[in-house]
Structure 1
Amino acid sequence: MSEQQRRDLDEMLRHAPLDVGGDVAEARAVFHQMMTSVPLPPDVTTVPGLLGGVPVLTVDTPGSDPAGVLLYFHGGAYAIGSAADAAGLAADVSRRAGARAVCVEYRLAPENPFPAAVDDAVAACRGLLDQGIPSDRIAFVGESAGGGLTIATLVALRDAGLPQPASATVFSPWTDLTVSGASATGKAHLDPALTPEALRVRARDYLGRTPGTEPLASPLFADLTGLPPLLIQAGSHEILLDDAARLASRAADHDVQVELQVWPQVPHVFQAFAAMLDEADAALRSAAAFVRAQWAAARTTQAASPRQ
C-alpha cells in the first residue's frame, strides 16, 4: 500500500470544492460534477427504471450472474447525491461481486424529510421480491448516509415481517444523526472531506422534528436482532469512524454476525477511489468476497433444508 497514494488522495479531497453543509442546490451540483467527472468504463451499462414505484438505475458489468442483485444505496448526507452519482462505485462493486447493482433513487431532504428515504428503500426491496428475486439472492450495499439507510431498511423490513437479504455491506456508514461519536471531534483534523458541523446541518434537514435518536433515522440506536450478516468498512481518518465501530459492537450485542474492517490512514468512503488507491481496490475485493460467501452460504442452507 502506497503512502504517496494516501497523501495524494488527502490533498485532493482537502481542495475539493464541495461544501457538504452548504447550500443544498449548490452542493448537489458540485457533488454531481465531482462524481461524474470520470466517465464510466465502456463495458458498464446503466439502465433507468422503476422498482416498487421508486426510480432506480441498474448498473451492470460483463459476466454478471443474473440471479444475484446488489441493492445499492448512495451517500450524500440524505440531501445530496443520486443513483447516477453512485454508478461508478456501484459498478466497481458489481464487477468484483459478479452481480448487477440496482441503485435506489430515494427522495432527498430537505424537500422530503424522514422517513421518505426509508420508505423508498423498503418499497424498492419489495419491488425486487415482487419480481420473484429470492431474498437470499439479494445483498444490500450502502455508502455513508446510504450505509445508515441500509441498516435502517433492514430493521424496517424485519419489523414489517419481510425477509432479510443474504447480507449487507456498508462503507463508512452514518448511523448516528446526533453526531455524538468521539471521532466526530477526535478525527476532525484528519478527515479531509467531512466536518461535524456539516453533518449536523444535513441531519436537521433530514430529521425535521424527528428526534436524532429515532431508530430508523439513526440505526445505531435500533434493536438489530435478526439482521443478516454485516460487513462494515471504514477508514481511520474519518469522523464517522465511531459510527462504524459502535454499529459493529451493537450488532454483536444483538447476536448478529458482523465483521468490522478499519483501513488505516484512509478517508471517508475511500472505496470510491480504487483507480488511485490500492487500499480501495483491496477493500472492494474483500467486500465482494463477503457478498459471494454469504450467497454461497445461503444456497448451502437452502439445499440442506428439508423439502416441505
Structure 2
Amino acid sequence: MAVSRQAHEFAEFLADVSAKSSTPGLDLAVIRDIVDSHHKASTEPEGVSYAEVDAGGVPALWAVPEGADPDKALLHFHFGGSVTASMHSDRKAAGHIAKAAGARSLVVDFRLAPEHPHPAQLDDAGTAYRWLLAQGYQPRNIGSTGHSIGGTLAVLLPLRLLAKGEATPGAIVSVSPWTDLTLHNPSVDENEDNDKMLSRATLELFRAAWLQEPGVDFTDPRISIANADLTGLPPTTVHYGAYETLADDGAALGRRLADFKVTSEVHALPEGQHSFILGAGRVPEVDQAIQRMGQWLRLHLGS
C-alpha cells in the first residue's frame, strides 16, 4: 500500500528538525527550542481550547474539545527521550487525540533529564494523576496516553500504581513506546536510515541522561517494560510506525500484552515514523490512526 504524499512530507520535516538539532556544539537549551518546533507538523485542531494549570505542583496544559465528556480525562505524556520536548510541542497532537476521544486531555510538562533523571518523570506523572483524582475524576474514566518516552510513561504509571495496590487509569494508548532500554532489538539498527527522528546514538544519549543511578541495570522491569509483569494492566492499545528504530519495541509490547491476557490491540503504521502523531491534521494515515485511538478510549473509559 502506497503511503500518502503528506506522509513523505512529514518524514522530510522530521529529518530537517533532526538535522538542525544535531548541529555540533549546540547548547542544550537551543536544542530544546529546536525540538519544540515539532509542533509545527500538526494543524491546530478545530474546536479545542487550552488552559495552563498547576497539577499539584507539575505544570500542565488542558486541551479541551467542544462538547467533551465532563467526567472523562486523558493524562498525556510528551515525547523527547526525557531530555527534550514539552507540553507545548505536544499541545496540538494531544488536542487531536482528545477530540477523537471526546474527552479533555491534561498534557503533563514533566521535569527533564539530565537535570532531573529517572524517576522524576514518573513521579510527576503520578502527581498529575493524583491531581486528576482530586479534581473528582474516577480512575476508570482517565486514559493514560503518550508517545515515545511518553508512550513508555503511559504504561509505567499504571504498572507503578498496580505495584502499590492503587487504582489504575481505565485505558492506555501507547504510541511509539521505548520498552527495551538495552537497545537490543534489531529494528534499532535495521531502521537507522528509515527513522527520520531517532537513531541508536540519540537513544544512547537519552538513556545516559535519563538513567543516572550507579550500576543501573537496563533490564530492570521498572524501566524496561519488556521485562515487566503486565498482569492487571487496563485495556491497552499500542501504535507504532513500521519505519521506527523502536518498531520492535512496540511489536514486542503487543505480544507481551497478549501473553499476560491484557485486553489489547496493536497497530503498525506502514512506513510510519517515530512519534507519527505529530503529523495530526496533515497526514491522512495519522488522522486515521488517531481516530482509532479515540475509538479505543471511548470504548474502554468508564466501562
Is 1:19 the equivalent of 2:22? Answer: yes
Aligned counterpart, 2:273: 267
Tell me, yes or no, if the aligned pair for 1:31 and 1:81 is still in contact at 8 Å: yes
Aligned counterpart, 1:186: 190
Give, in whole Å, the separation in 2 of the partners of 1:80 and 1:249: 29
Give, in whole Å, the separation in 2 of the partners of 1:10 and 1:159: 39
Q: 1:175 aligns with which of 174, 179, 202?
A: 179
Aligned counterpart, 1:217: 223
Letter in 2 for 1:291: L
SS at match of 1:15: helix
1:23 Cα deviation (Å)?
4.8
Instruction: Map 1:48-197 onto structure 2 (within 5 A).
Output: 48-197=52-201
Is 1:244 the equivalent of 2:250? Answer: yes
Tell me, yes or no, if the aligned pair for 1:13 and 1:193 is still in contact at 8 Å: yes
Letter in 2 for 1:236: A
Give, in whole Å, the separation in 1 of the partners of 2:301 and 2:83: 32
1:36 Cα deviation (Å)?
5.0
SS at match of 2:273: coil
Is 1:28 the equivalent of 2:29? Answer: no
Q: 1:279 aligns with which of 271, 274, 285?
A: 285
Is 1:4 the equivalent of 2:5? Answer: yes
What's the TM-score once normalised by structure 1's chain length? 0.91
- Aligned alpha-carbon RMSD (Å): 1.9
Query: Which has the higher relative contact order, 1 or 2, with Cα contacts under 8 A spaced 6 or more apart?
Result: 2
The answer to which of 1-10 and 64-73 deviates more is 1-10
Tell me, yes or no, if the aligned pair for 2:243 and 2:273 is still in contact at 8 Å: yes
Alpha-carbon deviations, 1:134-189, whole Å to 9, x = none?
11111111111000011111110111111111100011111222212110011112
Give, in whole Å, the separation in 1 of the partners of 2:134 and 2:282: 39
Give, in whole Å, the separation in 1 of the partners of 2:13 and 2:61: 28
Letter in 1 for 2:242: S
Give, in whole Å, the separation in 2 of the partners of 1:293 and 1:218: 28
Letter in 2 for 1:160: K
Letter in 2 for 1:132: G
Identity of aligned residues (%): 33
SS at match of 2:261: coil
1:20 Cα deviation (Å)?
10
Stretches of structure 1 lacking an aligned partner (at least 5 in a row) = 299-308
Alpha-carbon deviations, 1:282-308, whole Å to 9, x = none?
000000000001026x1xxxxxxxxxx
Letter in 2 for 1:197: A
1:42 Cα deviation (Å)?
6.5
Aligned counterpart, 1:289: 295
SS at match of 1:212: coil
1:10 Cα deviation (Å)?
2.2
Tell me, yes or no, if the aligned pair for 2:43 and 2:282 is still in contact at 8 Å: no
Tell me, yes or no, if the aligned pair for 1:172 and 1:240 is still in contact at 8 Å: yes
1:37 Cα deviation (Å)?
7.6
Instruction: Map 1:293-308 onto structure 2 (within 5 A).
Output: 293-295=299-301, 298=303
Give, in whole Å, the separation in 1 of the partners of 2:226 and 2:134: 29
What is the aligned length? 297
Letter in 1 for 2:11: D
Alpha-carbon deviations, 1:27-61, whole Å to 9, x = none?
21101233258774564322111223322111112
Letter in 2 for 1:77: G
